[in-house]
Structure 1
Amino acid sequence: MASNVNPTVRRRRLGQELRKLRELKGMTAEEVADRLLVSQSKISRLENGRRSISQRDVRDLCGVYEVEDHRIVDSLMQMAKESRQQGWWHAFGDIPYSVYIGLETDAASLRVYEPLVVPGLLQTQAYAEAVISGALPEATASDIEKRVQVRVRRQDRIIETRQPLRLWAVLDESALRRAVGGPQTMVEQLEHLMDMSRLPHVTVQVMPFTMGAHPGVNGQYAILEFPDASDSTVIYLEGVTSDLYLEKANDVQSYSVMYEHLRAQALNAGQSREFIEKIAKEFTRA
């Protein structure tokens, strides 16, 4: 279950509030940085939620913005304190995509397009281990095991009963045919994928090769939406050494429209299960 105090989401909300105060004051990030003798990039990272915010940062910024209402200052200071708490994923050590995990943990819905592999939230443990070890050939066995454990723990959002994550996944046919871990692993993975797709809050659609070019040919992406209206929708693009998070309205609109085209062109849920079952039988015969 998602935590009541998610440090990643708290950091984003606090950054948004600080940006609003700066804009109300009519100041640029560069002007604020000059006043505090810090870099402009620090101010931008604080406002974007990409950097942890200390209570001292909040105090200094409220001083620059001349915030006189102590209730506002106290509220922001409390958010700063909560944003520095550790999420469940910190127990696993340094996780490169910890920002994404924090967002996913608090999200109400997730729409994802995967062209190459089954989405992490729908992977079996054997498949996850094969994917991670194949993608990171120089990783140690302990690092692979840690990443697998994190991936399995993330799946709690799907199986929790009170407020499960609403997941919509569109998969390219290549994600189903790529023999990750061998035929037996693939059979188990595809059967698991069919089982998960029958959950009322999970929808799986397949984009077959016969569809040709489609709006997903540019690569994988995910759209995260949150229960609190004050939290902006986030577009997540996974990279090898760094990830990209897009929150501007134009970016969100473009990717959302593109996803609607993907859903319209892909096989529907029932057809997709039949398609997955057919490929599973092919692996069984193999």
Structure 2
Amino acid sequence: MNGTDRSRGFFKDVKRLIIKVGTAVVTRADGRLALGRLGALCEQIKDLNSLGYEVIVVTSGAVGLGRQRLKYRRLVNSSFADLQKPQVDFDGKACAAVGQNNLMALYDTLFSQLDVTSAQLLVTDSDFRDEGFRKQLDETVKSLLALRVIPIFNENDAVSTRRAPYEDSSGIFWDNDSLAALLALELKADLLVLLSDVEGLYSGPPSDPQSKLIHTYIKEIHQSEITFGDKSRVGRGGMTAKVKAAVNAAYAGIPVVITSGYAPENIMKVLQGERVWHSLSSRCAFVGLC
């Protein structure tokens, strides 16, 4: 049953949107890049850009990509005797430094093939404590959007003072979901889209057949009814972090949608006000206040 949700009529007024791409969307289960998925997403962003939307991307994936790259280099450079020794995991900040280079090279290649220019903006939590930084950030993004450039944000984990396992949620932002929500406020976005590896927000773990998809989340009603599953297989926060970030943005008046990044065409469907009930690839959950 396909149709347009009348309660979502405000989507016709969206001009500027922020799209947050999770690590589980950027990478496959084996940790390698999901090239087809990311390519389809870039094509969708190019279409939005051509239609006059101002698109800002917040991407995860640098740490995972860096770890994969460093594991490969260690394997190539190790002797058989070295490989018999216990392998110590790589420092997360080193992984972030290596992976960020790879991640942005991929975005640049994909967007270049589509005749779209992208720009990298790395930020840390402490940056936002500086009013001058926040003003300059706004001016820089405005300049990029005026040139039809796609700004791509990521937390600069390589030099961030926050350390793993990132259990606390203190500070101005604490993961890329909360960074996306913060940027939605700072940059006055009309819509925040959080792309996940599941179809949307469920009442329980998506693997549980008793879990139901929640199309409109109302904190006062649903907060006590939801049982969150495990964190993302590769990311930092999972659905708990997404809902917390979404509620913060929604209370500030910014609509938020959580939907599957495995079906990038969902973004366009959301902007058209569609809600597809029976297609797993097209379900989306609206998180806001009613």
- TM-score interval, smaller chain: under 0.3
| Higher RCO structure, 1 or 2 (CA under 8 Å, sep 6+) | 2
